Chains A and B, each alone.
Chain A
Amino acid sequence: MLSPERLALPDYDYLAQRHVLTYMEDAVCQLLENKEDISQYGIARFFTEYFNSVCQGTHILFREFSFIQATPHNRASFLRAFWRCFRTVGKNGDLLTMKEYHCLLQLLCPDFPLELTQKAARIVLMDDAMDCLMSFSDFLFAFQIQFYYSEFLESVAAIYQDLLSGKNPNTVIVPTSSSGQHRQRPAVGEASLPEGVEASLFSQCLENLCDRHKYSCPPPALVKEVLSNVQRLTFYGFLMALSKHHGINQALGALPDRGDLMHDPAMDEELERL
């Protein structure tokens, strides 16, 4: 724990990287919110419980979206919570619409934005027929990618658009056009272009992206692996491949493997008891 790299970072950077401040601020805020109730059993106990729940990943239950989104750990915890709570829906075999999944998400987070769910649905449905039904596992893995790496995906989308329209972002370095902005979509009449972009070029751009930016992105090695299997690929094809990749899922650590998605013996036991 007390590794040298850790101590090597200057104080603010270290705190920021581990998002310690976020949790501290939130803890104090919660304390203020509920001071009448908490003062009953002591502040020390409150902090214990708070950080315990952060560790266990239950701190995000029924919290507002801004908090859930704040740190990668929160996002992962949220994904895990969603999986555990609604695994039974998947097990039952029901296929639901995007709106219904969004409803389930809202049960855990009342102000979860619809756009995120829509984007996740687009990955599953390959941007086609948005009213289609989706299976639980499909949706969950796509949602994971979309939610956990949302900023990364935005940048990737921008890069993809650039590549489609023929511009290579590597050669043009314009300070204002940071990869977070969306570029103009290519003209519709470009039917002559083959679909998607060249995988190797894409891979290169993504590598640069991962190096450049601080926020979380999938392990570059795995991204390269995904891109090395194909010649060309579309944006949603790429995302779908990401969502289906075991390695990335494991690297995230929130959800079990696809095969094990329906298994949760501990919870099943609880269920029997009810």
Chain B
Amino acid sequence: MDCQAEVNCGLHLVIQTSSLPEKNKVEFRLNKETSSFPGRLLQHDLERNYSSRQGDHINLVSSSMPSFPILQRSSEEKILYSDRLTLERQKLTVCPVIDGEEHLRLLNFQHNFITRIQNISNLQRLIFLDLYDNQIEEISGLSTLRSLRVLLLGKNRIKKISNLENLKSLDVLDLHGNQITKIENVNHLCALRVLNLARNLLSHVDNLTGLDSLTELNLRHNQITFVRDVDNLPCLQRLFLSFNNISNFESVCCLADSASLSDITFDGNPIAQESWYKHTVLQNMMQLRQLDMKRVTEEERRMASLVAKKEEEKKRESHKQSLLKEKKRLTINNVARKWDLQQHRVTSIATNQDRKDTDSPSQDSCQMDGSTISAFPEETGPLDPVLTNALQGLSVTDTHLVEVEGDTLSLYGSGALESLDRNWSVQTAGMVTTVSFTFIEFDEIVQVLPKLKMKFPNSLHLKFKETNLVMLQQFNALAQLRRIDQLTIDPQGNPVVNFTLWKYYVLFRLSHFSMQKINGTEVTQNDMIMAERLFGILAHVASSELPQYRVISILGDARKKQFRYLQETKGKKPGIVNEENNDSKRLVGENTNRAMLNYTTRDFYNEKLEEIKEKKKFCQMYIEDLVKEATEINKKNEALQKLWPQMFIELVRDAVIEIRSKNSYMKLCLQQITDQK
């Protein structure tokens, strides 16, 4: 270690470490211009290489006290170097007793094997004490050295900072390379300017109050995770935190409040690996001049503030996103609960009430600004009053959810179906290839399929979850769409999936779509063949064996329904009519035998049956009348049959009686002829 010491009363001390492999270049530059001591005491230049340096002119004489050698110097030495003594590399294991050197100001014990600081309490003028590279385990024996300014205890085995109470003039304290775990007992060192605690076992930094003169704090190569109290150091200019364990800026946030800091290093910490490291530090510490030993330019500062602004925006954005996500999640939960209630409609009122009570406290009514995600206010449909009460307890604003994410349109809750009426931009609608229905009755979905076909022409993949698909017949309703490539029926809430034959039926009924995947598995040629084999006859029977009028009426029904739905859309353009015609043509083009297989929702079916009742009654009466007429005629006929022989005989008898008297008959006939004229 090269050491150049110019000892003033105010110290101008330059200690330069040559760069050994492990150690960094450390510069302690300390300039304290105070009132100078009369004259400069020492112009000691210790630049010479120590390896050659011997403690020359020194005699170590064994004394009467067996453990402590006594130091003696020749008188020329004493006069020449009256205030400094170098005892480095002397293989000392203890501090020798130093007699007659009360003027000593510098004492150098470097590179020995000293285990305890002893026998120096008489050197009360000592200003500079160097015990670097020894085996000292405890700071002690310094309590009389009130003038001490520089204390170098690096590379020892010190575990604790202690016993520095009287060293109030201490300017430089070097404790690097020890085993210190905690900063303590330094709060009185108000003259301390340099504190070196590098290469210790510190895990955090605090308890720095009172160090009012501290300008430089070296904490390199520790295990520091957070730093506190630095803002209480009014003079701190340089802080070295390289090679610690700092991972975020929050753990060193007190640095931002320090006005004096101009130089800081963080290299070797996890934080320095982060992408936001440089500009976060610069943004938070506008006073910095050097970061990691490099000057901070204006450009960098500007960049830092820009980036920080962007980060802020991004954070705000992601916060908004997470709020939206939370809202979405709550909405979906609400919809799920409502769905469950609906499905278990027959459960007792008490259960509903319980649910209502537990639900209300967990409500969340955060505001929503609509972008692509929106939720409509609830419109209570025609539900029975008990259920309505329960539902009102659930939620006021969120009973369904409509979401467009890229190519997927997701609908939760039956109220979401109304969103198909909205004016979707052509671009958004064109991008949608997947439509997902959850917590909606399939029968309700069937009714809006024509709208879906029109508004989202590119939808190729349909997904159904919790939609109450219970019979194969319901799949017939999907035939009216333009095209389906993929179909996903989630087993949850769709009992139809439990049937062995459901996939084959789907493939059979929707064969004109040439579907590629069902529930994620590819459709093979074998599947198609099997589907045809199983249900082909059904189609054949449906088409060929039905009387013509039935065929027409069934087809006509389907077309009438479609047309009715299309008419209900707003802003009917003439183009739509053409489309309808095209579709109907295509309907014929579709396997007409399959087209027979329709699905009418249960409600519609019952409606139709109700309508027919009137007609049936009329028919009944009409037929009754006919039957009455027929039976009457029949009776009359029978009666006639019975009476006819008699009547015939009477007719003949009357005729014979008439002709009996020729003359009177002739007269009668002539009379009749003249009467006729």
Contact = CB atoms under 8 A, between A and B. Distances in A.
Interface in B587-620: 596-597, 600, 605, 609, 612, 615-616, 618-620
Given A30-B549, A58-B541, A111-B605, 11 more contacts: A21-B627, A58-B546, A61-B550, A62-B554, A85-B541, A88-B535, A88-B536, A97-B498, A97-B499, A103-B499, A111-B609
Interface in A14-73: 15, 21, 24-26, 28-30, 32-34, 37-38, 41, 46, 49-50, 52-53, 56, 58-59, 61-62, 64
A267 to B, nearest CB: 5
Given A49-B549, A92-B534, A110-B473, A61 B623 contact: no
Contacts of A96: 499-501
B535 A61 contact: no
B535 A58 contact: no
A234 B206 CA distance: 91
A86 B631 CA distance: 44
B549 A46 contact: yes
Interface string B529-541: 0101111111111
B634 A11 contact: yes
Interface of B: 471-473, 495-496, 498-501, 530, 532-542, 545-550, 552-554, 556, 596-597, 600, 605, 609, 612, 615-616, 618-620, 622-623, 626-627, 630-631, 634
B624 to A, nearest CB: 8
A32 B619 contact: yes
A104 B535 CA distance: 10
Interface residues of A, number: 51
A95 B501 CA distance: 10
Nearest to A86: B538
Contacts of A62: 542, 546, 550, 554, 596
Interface string A239-270: 00000000000000000000000000001001
A206 interface: no
A85 B546 CA distance: 13
A271 B498 CA distance: 27
A111 B631 CA distance: 36
A207 interface: no
A58 B551 CA distance: 12
Nearest to B606: A111
Contacts of A119: none
Interface of A: 11-12, 15, 21, 24-26, 28-30, 32-34, 37-38, 41, 46, 49-50, 52-53, 56, 58-59, 61-62, 64, 81, 84-89, 92, 94-97, 99-100, 103-104, 106-107, 110-111, 267, 270-271, 274
A271 B537 contact: yes
Contacts of B533: 88, 92, 271
Contact of A33 (B498, B536, B615, B631): B615
A69 B634 CA distance: 31
Contact of A61 (B471, B537, B542, B552): B542
A89 to B, nearest CB: 6
Given A15-B627, A25-B619, A94-B500, A37 B537 contact: no
Contact of B471 (A86, A89, A103): A103
Contacts of A106: 471-473
Contacts of B536: 88, 270-271, 274
24 contacts: A12-B627, A28-B622, A30-B549, A32-B618, A32-B619, A33-B612, A49-B549, A53-B545, A61-B542, A61-B545, A86-B537, A88-B535, A89-B501, A94-B501, A96-B499, A97-B498, A99-B495, A103-B473, A107-B472, A107-B473, A110-B473, A267-B537, A274-B536, A274-B540
A37 B554 CA distance: 11
Contacts of A15: 627
A97 to B, nearest CB: 8
Interface centre among B533, B534, B619 (most CB of A within 10 A): B619
B549 A37 contact: yes
Contacts of A100: 499-501
A34 B549 contact: yes
B615 A29 contact: yes
A111 B549 CA distance: 22
B596 A52 contact: no
B499 A99 contact: yes
A21 B624 CA distance: 8
A46 B549 CA distance: 7
Given A100-B500, A107-B597, A24 B472 contact: no
A29 B612 contact: yes
A86 B540 CA distance: 12
A87 B533 CA distance: 10
Interface of A is mostly: helix
B651 to A, nearest CB: 28
Contacts of B616: 25, 29
Contacts of B623: 21, 24-25, 28
Contact of B541 (A12, A34, A49, A84): A84
Given A29-B612, A64-B609, A38 B549 contact: yes
Contact of A37 (B495, B530, B556): B556
Contacts of A274: 532, 536, 539-540
A99 B498 CA distance: 10
A11 B626 CA distance: 13
Contacts of A52: 547
A49 B548 CA distance: 8
A274 B533 CA distance: 9
B605 A110 contact: yes
A28 B538 CA distance: 27
Nearest to B599: A110
Nearest to A37: B552
A32 B537 contact: no
Contacts of B540: 267, 270-271, 274
Contacts of A64: 609
Nearest to A273: B540
Given A15-B627, A33-B553, A100-B500, A58 B537 contact: no
A61 B495 CA distance: 26
Contacts of A97: 498-499
Contacts of B538: 85-86, 107
Interface centre among A11, A46, A95 (most CB of B within 10 A): A11
A222 to B, nearest CB: 31
B472 A104 contact: yes
Nearest to A92: B534
Which 5 interchain pairs have the tightest Cβ spacing? A49-B547, A58-B545, A28-B619, A29-B619, A34-B553
Contacts of B473: 103, 106-107, 110
A49 B550 CA distance: 10
Contacts of B554: 62
A61 B501 contact: no
A87 B538 CA distance: 10
Contacts of B535: 88
A112 B630 CA distance: 36
Interface centre among B498, B550, B620, B626 (most CB of A within 10 A): B550
Contact of A12 (B495, B545, B631): B631
B443 to A, nearest CB: 13
Contacts of B615: 29, 32-33
A131 to B, nearest CB: 10
Contacts of B545: 53, 56, 58, 61
